[in-house]
A and B are shown apart, each in its own frame.
Chain A
Amino acid sequence: MNDTRPDPDRLLAEVADEQRQTARGKLRIFFGACPGVGKTYAMLQALQQLQSEGRHVLLGVAETHGRAETARLLAGLPRLPLRELEYRGRVLRELDIDTVLAAGPDLVAVDELAHSNVEGSRHRKRWQDVEELLGAGIDVYTTLNVQHLESLNDIVGRITGVRVRETVPDHVFDQADDVLVVDLPADELLKRLADGKVYLPKVAECARGRFFRKGNLIALRELALRRAADRVDVQMRDYRRTRAIDAVWPNRERLLVGIAGNADDEGLVREAARLARKLEADWIAAHVDVPQQQAGVERQRTAQTLALAASLGAETVTLPATTDVASALVACARARNVNRIVLGLRPRQPWRFWHRSTADRIGGAHPGLGLVVMAASVDHERVARRPLSLSGIDWLPYGWATLACLVATVLASPLLRVFDLANVVMVFLLTVAIVALRWGRGPGAWAAFVAVACFDFSQYVFTFGLMLAVALIIGQLTARLRREARLAGARERRAVALAGLAHALSAALTAEQIEEVALRNLKACFQAGVGLALPDAEDRVRTARSNAISMDESIAQWVYDHAQAAGAGSDTLAAARARYLPLKAPMRVRGVLALEFAQEGALLEPDEQRLLEACCNQLALALERVHFVEVAQNTLVAIEGERMRNTLLSAMSHDLRTPLTTILGAAQAVAPQVRGQSVEALVVSIDEQAQAMLRLIENLLDLARLQSRGVELTRQWHSLEELLGIALRALREPLRTHPVTVDIPEGFPLLEMDATLIERVLVNLLDNAAKHTPGGTPIEVRVRHEGGNALIAVSDSGPGLPTVAVDKLFDPFERGRRESVVAGAGLGLALAHRIVRAHGGTIEARQRHPHGAVFVVTLPASAPPDVEAA
């Protein structure tokens, strides 16, 4: 690839990143090697500076630890009241996010990013609080020590011998907009320590001697500086990439870490994270779910390790074991384009000489894959040892085994008289086999022992060995069969549950039915109390009435808004009794599901987790389907309503016009025959009034049409002169007694307008002028082009406008003079007003000097299309 264009995918990702960051607040981290280097001090100084520049800053949390010089910097900074929470008899103060959000400052300072919140806070960790603040567009200043960085946590622990529990995921650090290293040479720090200027947390106090050794401090300082330099390096590379300085796009590395549930998994994951960062690689932490190997402790540990990997930036997957671990890992690697697999080193177990490690198998069968085998250190502090007590063993089967052997002895003794000894042994073998089959390996072995003891032939060592072997083999086989049967049963149960849910949901037509289905099916499926909350039209979630548990609506709302799980078993609002899960459909979150388990941590098993996810997906999809069905129905109703209105209007229009046609036609047909007779005037007045009525009906129907469906314009390029011609022709009769002059410049450009409607405007303005002025007075129409607009002025020389309520002229049913005998309920002007406004123009009425009225219509005029001259 010699192309020097930047990789488009990366650029897109960067653009998306930038867009996210423009909406997000900016995070600046004051980063130090250890406590006492002056991070808080530096932060407060920066805050003072910003405030003097006039920015709205807020002090969220600042730990001065009683240091006078730091406390002095607090002066003048607006402080936020902290939330007081009682915890184990003590009142603790925590940052109150809602107050900060409500205050809406430009920037808020929150000390100690790694802090863990007291139980009962919204998030477990302060860095999550900070994320939410950033998400709301508020800038944040914060402080962090190198030892609190998740990926370096264990290294620092090894250097200093003190392991801190509070950590911050690396992505928070890597995605910070600014990292400011607050640095102090080791000697100076030691001097400050000697002067008592450094506060130490109580935990560290005892380790003071161990922690603050010069060697440690130098190592920590190096670590902090190097980590900060790494960040700068990444920025530099990013910069080069956007400017296409790199001539080559390196293929992105992708690592896959296999997690087995061993004690060294945590170390392995940390090592892998460091490796991934150095290689700039994406990485996946994969756990192969082999049922045989999973005791409760191991499952717990695996879940924790996966969570750790996720917090270190890995994508986590749990793979179902199809054949064996090695092939499952390789299949995943192939599917995801992974070029390196990272595995922990397993020492060869001499007593299982035939057993090959996963690494060996992958290396042997797939030499093309890069294989990294790491000997990760085991953090013994964190390893929960499996208890070695006898209390866990169920003694009853051993009793049964003993009893069975005694019964066999009783049965065998008479047989001995008849049969050869070698035959009687078979009775015991059968007993051992039955015991092993019934109660498993342990009782089987015990039965073999008891059988030989009853047999009382100490010289039959070989027989004993044989029996033991049979017991062990059968026990092993039975155990495996049982486990597999149990697993198959569990899988079956889940598949049935899921299929049942899918089937029930497919029949649901309303959100209420979905609620009911969810509550009924999930309760049986997870042995948990189930609740559901669905959003209303304003996006506020409402808990379902039939919920089996009481849901906290504020938590449900949070989950709905953020599309993240919360409540028990998560990092957010963990104090809640139930677990709240967002129902994410392709378009958006459709609701919130709450599950309340009888025992805690019941959901950590990957299988259950997957099942729950599948159920959530099904529910979300069903809700979305129902939503769209509803939308479609509403649209249909609207269309139907519209159609009915239109039918009604055109029926009315037809029914009103038809009799008028007859009246007009009859009057006009009679007119020539009554010429000169006394009834002629009557016939003429029938004709005239019918025509006036016709215009009134036209206006009424037009107005009704415009009001019912809004104004829909069919715009085309039309000539105003032509439309004026049509209007004048239509009004020949009413205008007969008025001399009309039209002044329109030759070559006046075409206007884009709805001709039928604008013709109605012109007809109404002219008709209005004819109606309200005495016969013989002239009417003038002037058309001009002015500043991108076309101006049409219709002026008369009548009595002018009524002095009051000129602005109400254009309201329907408003006439200039109430006592006027002139027909027309003022609909014409209202109609004209509506039509002109729909065209983006204006209409106004003015008095004319010395007398008369002028109506001016302004229509926007854009450049007309070209017409080929010929």
Chain B
Amino acid sequence: MSTARILLVEDDANIRRFVRMALQDEGFEVFEAETSKGALIEASTRQPDLAIVDLGLPDADGKLLIAQVRSWSALPIVVLSAREREEEKVAALDAGADDYLVKPFGVPELLARVRAQLRRRQADSTTGSSVVSFGDIHVDLASHEVRRRGEIVHLTPIEFRLLAAMIRGRGRVLTHRQLLHEVWGPAYVDRAHYLRVHMANLRHKLEADPAQPEHLLTELQVGYRLAGM
């Protein structure tokens, strides 16, 4: 883990410099690329464990780059994007990105996301047990049993399917479409309010303070993410 290789695709030299510094201080090996073309070459030759991609690249849309990388690799991709490009973020996630950060972003936040994605990759490669836990919640995916501080919590079938989908995401940002498609089916992909109602119920059952959730986090206008796993 300490020798994890990270590909940083960003055209702004200043941003590249401090991100590289922060990552190297954490013990990661960092490769840099300024353009989409360079990124593709680096990604195929260096075999990185994770890529951080800025969506606004000079030569091509970052979305395309993600889709191209995704076609032959499952490496986690964290996207950096400007705030006003809401639709682009969703498109990038739908294209296969795993997480995103809005510029300006905090360095501790970036490092946390990178670590979470690397952990997920490791967990994916080892066959995990059917029991997962985050915070004081334990979920048995096989028996559909959910416990909070050891006490059984009763979830409706929809709530459980929603929770299970979030767990399968393992910290990835799941867009509204992805979640609706997985839990309700393809006919429901435009009914984001379904998600909001059921997510609220889930939070009231699992979170200590549903208004300031620790695990079931909302990404505004984008989707949801399970944190702390």
A665 near B105 with CB under 8 A, answer: yes
B192 (CB) vs chain A CBs: closest residue: A716
Binds A, one of B127-135, B140-148, B212-220: B212-220
- B73 beta carbon closer than 8 Å to chain A: no
Complex CA distance for A205 and B196, rounded to whole angstroms = 95
A724 near B196 with CB under 8 A, answer: no
Mask for B197-229, Cβ within 8 A of A = 1, else 0? 111100110000111110001101100000000
- A653 beta carbon closer than 8 Å to chain B: yes
B213 (CB) vs chain A CBs: closest residue: A725
- A298 beta carbon closer than 8 Å to chain B: no
Given contacts A650-B84, A658-B12, A740-B212, contact A867 B194 (CB under 8 A): yes
- Chain A nearest Cβ from B224, distance in angstroms: 10
- A387 beta carbon closer than 8 Å to chain B: no
| Chain A stretch 691-706: residues in CB contact (< 8 A) with chain B | 694, 698
- B149 beta carbon closer than 8 Å to chain A: no
- Chain B nearest Cβ from A248, distance in angstroms: 54
A663 (CB) vs chain B CBs: closest residue: B104
Which residues of chain B are within 8 angstroms of A726 by Cβ–Cβ distance? 218, 220
- Chain A nearest Cβ from B114, distance in angstroms: 13
Q: Which of A669, A740, A755, A867 contacts B25 (CB 8 A)?
A: A669
Binds A, one of B1-9, B14-22, B27-35, B166-174: B14-22
- Chain A nearest Cβ from B103, distance in angstroms: 5
* Count: A-B pairs, CB below 8 Å: 114
B107 near A867 with CB under 8 A, answer: no
Complex CA distance for A728 and B214, rounded to whole angstroms = 12
Given contacts A668-B106, A725-B211, A726-B218, contact A673 B12 (CB under 8 A): no
Complex CA distance for A854 and B18, rounded to whole angstroms = 41
**A-side interface mostly:** helix
B13 (CB) vs chain A CBs: closest residue: A662
- B137 beta carbon closer than 8 Å to chain A: no
- A661 beta carbon closer than 8 Å to chain B: yes
- A426 beta carbon closer than 8 Å to chain B: no
Given contacts A694-B104, A717-B193, A719-B196, contact A668 B213 (CB under 8 A): no
- B154 beta carbon closer than 8 Å to chain A: no
Binds B, one of A71-79, A80-88, A452-460, A742-750: A742-750
Mask for A631-663, Cβ within 8 A of B = 1, else 0? 000000000000000000010011001111110
A665 near B15 with CB under 8 A, answer: yes
Which residues of chain B are within 8 angstroms of A665 by Cβ–Cβ distance? 15, 18-19, 22, 104-105, 107
B84 near A870 with CB under 8 A, answer: no
Which residues of chain B are within 8 angstroms of A527 by Cβ–Cβ distance? none
- A759 beta carbon closer than 8 Å to chain B: yes
The count of chain B contact residues (Cβ–Cβ below 8 Å) is 40
Q: Which of B18, B25, B198 contacts A673 (CB 8 A)?
A: B25
B22 near A669 with CB under 8 A, answer: yes
Interface centre among B15, B192, B196 (most CB of A within 10 A): B196
- Chain B nearest Cβ from A675, distance in angstroms: 12
- A799 beta carbon closer than 8 Å to chain B: no
Which residues of chain A are within 8 angstroms of B204 by Cβ–Cβ distance? 746
Given contacts A665-B22, A750-B193, A756-B220, contact A657 B104 (CB under 8 A): yes
A657 near B25 with CB under 8 A, answer: no
Mask for A717-736, Cβ within 8 A of B = 1, else 0? 11101111110110000000
Complex CA distance for A660 and B83, rounded to whole angstroms = 13
B200 near A722 with CB under 8 A, answer: yes
- A666 beta carbon closer than 8 Å to chain B: yes
Complex CA distance for A865 and B211, rounded to whole angstroms = 22
- Chain B nearest Cβ from A169, distance in angstroms: 63
Q: Which of A666, A725, A867 contacts B218 (CB 8 A)?
A: A725
- Chain B nearest Cβ from A636, distance in angstroms: 25
Interface centre among A662, A673, A724, A750 (most CB of B within 10 A): A662
- A710 beta carbon closer than 8 Å to chain B: no
- Chain A nearest Cβ from B205, distance in angstroms: 10
B193 near A865 with CB under 8 A, answer: yes
Given contacts A660-B104, A669-B25, contact A742 B209 (CB under 8 A): yes
A864 near B193 with CB under 8 A, answer: yes
Given contacts A665-B15, A728-B212, contact A653 B84 (CB under 8 A): yes
- A664 beta carbon closer than 8 Å to chain B: yes
A870 near B158 with CB under 8 A, answer: yes
| Chain A stretch 158-206: residues in CB contact (< 8 A) with chain B | none
Which residues of chain B are within 8 angstroms of A716 by Cβ–Cβ distance? 192-193
- B82 beta carbon closer than 8 Å to chain A: yes
- Chain A nearest Cβ from B17, distance in angstroms: 8
Complex CA distance for A868 and B212, rounded to whole angstroms = 26
- A672 beta carbon closer than 8 Å to chain B: yes
Complex CA distance for A744 and B203, rounded to whole angstroms = 13
- B108 beta carbon closer than 8 Å to chain A: yes
- B156 beta carbon closer than 8 Å to chain A: yes
- Chain B nearest Cβ from A435, distance in angstroms: 94
B107 near A724 with CB under 8 A, answer: no
Q: Which of A660, A690, A719, A868 contacts B200 (CB 8 A)?
A: A719
Complex CA distance for A694 and B103, rounded to whole angstroms = 10
- B157 beta carbon closer than 8 Å to chain A: yes
Which residues of chain B are within 8 angstroms of A690 by Cβ–Cβ distance? 104
Which residues of chain B are within 8 angstroms of A722 by Cβ–Cβ distance? 196, 199-200, 218
Complex CA distance for A187 and B107, rounded to whole angstroms = 115
B193 near A657 with CB under 8 A, answer: no
| Chain B stretch 151-199: residues in CB contact (< 8 A) with chain A | 156-158, 192-194, 196-199
Given contacts A654-B82, A673-B25, A728-B212, contact A668 B108 (CB under 8 A): yes
Which residues of chain B are within 8 angstroms of A718 by Cβ–Cβ distance? 193, 196
Which residues of chain A are within 8 angstroms of B22 by Cβ–Cβ distance? 665, 668-669
A669 near B21 with CB under 8 A, answer: yes
B157 near A870 with CB under 8 A, answer: yes
Q: Which of B157, B210, B221 contacts A756 (CB 8 A)?
A: B221
Which residues of chain B are within 8 angstroms of A668 by Cβ–Cβ distance? 22, 106-108
A649 (CB) vs chain B CBs: closest residue: B84
A864 (CB) vs chain B CBs: closest residue: B193
Which residues of chain B are within 8 angstroms of A664 by Cβ–Cβ distance? 104-106
Complex CA distance for A655 and B165, rounded to whole angstroms = 39
B188 (CB) vs chain A CBs: closest residue: A868
Complex CA distance for A664 and B12, rounded to whole angstroms = 14
B86 (CB) vs chain A CBs: closest residue: A756
Which residues of chain B are within 8 angstroms of A747 by Cβ–Cβ distance? 200
Which residues of chain A are within 8 angstroms of B25 by Cβ–Cβ distance? 669, 672-673
B183 (CB) vs chain A CBs: closest residue: A870
- Chain B nearest Cβ from A727, distance in angstroms: 9
Mask for A560-573, Cβ within 8 A of B = 1, else 0? 00000000000000
Which residues of chain A are within 8 angstroms of B158 by Cβ–Cβ distance? 869-870
Given contacts A665-B19, A718-B196, contact A657 B103 (CB under 8 A): yes
Given contacts A668-B108, A729-B212, A729-B217, contact A719 B103 (CB under 8 A): no
Complex CA distance for A755 and B222, rounded to whole angstroms = 11
Which residues of chain B are within 8 angstroms of A750 by Cβ–Cβ distance? 193, 196-197
- Chain A nearest Cβ from B58, distance in angstroms: 13
Which residues of chain B are within 8 angstroms of A662 by Cβ–Cβ distance? 12, 14-15, 18
Complex CA distance for A176 and B189, rounded to whole angstroms = 64
Complex CA distance for A37 and B20, rounded to whole angstroms = 110
- Chain B nearest Cβ from A150, distance in angstroms: 68
- Chain B nearest Cβ from A742, distance in angstroms: 4
Complex CA distance for A657 and B105, rounded to whole angstroms = 11
- Chain A nearest Cβ from B34, distance in angstroms: 15
- Chain A nearest Cβ from B111, distance in angstroms: 10
Complex CA distance for A722 and B86, rounded to whole angstroms = 18
Give 9 A-B pairs besides A664-B105, A728-B211, A867-B197 with Cβ atoms closer than 8 angstroms.
A668-B107, A719-B197, A722-B199, A725-B211, A725-B218, A746-B204, A755-B220, A868-B194, A869-B158
Q: List 9 A-B contacts (CB under 8 A).
A: A653-B82, A657-B103, A664-B105, A665-B18, A665-B22, A694-B104, A698-B83, A721-B210, A756-B86
Interface residues of B (CB under 8 A from A): 12, 14-15, 18-19, 21-22, 25, 82-84, 86, 103-108, 156-158, 192-194, 196-200, 203-204, 209-213, 217-218, 220-221
